[in-house]
Homo-oligomer: A and B are copies of this chain.
């Protein structure tokens, strides 16, 4: 099987072990590992080996297996660690004064922005769930939680905006989000306003005013 990328290995361990770099690398072993895992698993898939993961993270396998019982748990933990930053990127700031509709559209504008990047690989949560092929996998559980959080945000804003059926609208918007991600992956090109346009149709139909 062809590797997705030649794994450019951005000067991983050697520089990370010099004294002053070690001083600046204040992140704990666990954090370094999970950050590297999140990036590697997203970029190349959860099929990446522990060997390669530990090499790029600058963490020994010994340390890794003291922190986690198995690779599956590393996958789930990396997803969990990346989730807050992912949500912070997608969602609007908590208390901006904008109306619900604008706050919802913010998410789709962010998605269009992210999907324009050539290394966009879709929603990390969905990608992980698709790859592990099992709803019971710890990573699938984390993915489910993350998607529920997005839907909950949609629903909360829909309620605030007086939509007809906030729960239904929220699930529909999540579908548009994931469908747009999938399209960007398969078509290997930007969304060109398609996600924004489709979400708008649903918001209009639900009677959520601008």
Contact = CB atoms under 8 A, between A and B. Distances in A.
Interface residues of A, number: 55
Interface in A2-51: 2, 4-5, 43-47
Contact of A198 (B5, B122, B172, B180): B172
Contacts of A46: 1
B187 A144 contact: yes
Given A147-B187, A176-B175, A2 B137 contact: yes
A184 to B, nearest CB: 10
Interface in A100-148: 121-123, 125-127, 129-135, 137, 140, 143-144, 147
A120 to B, nearest CB: 10
Given A127-B130, A186-B126, A194 B179 contact: no
A55 interface: no
B187 A179 contact: no
B187 A134 contact: no
Nearest to A135: B188
Contacts of A1: 46-47, 71-72
Interface of A: 1-2, 4-5, 43-47, 70-72, 121-123, 125-127, 129-135, 137, 140, 143-144, 147, 168, 171-172, 174-183, 185-188, 194-195, 197-198, 201-202, 204-205
Given A2-B72, A131-B131, 15 more contacts: A1-B47, A4-B132, A4-B137, A44-B133, A123-B182, A130-B182, A144-B188, A147-B187, A168-B194, A175-B180, A175-B195, A175-B198, A179-B182, A198-B202, A201-B202
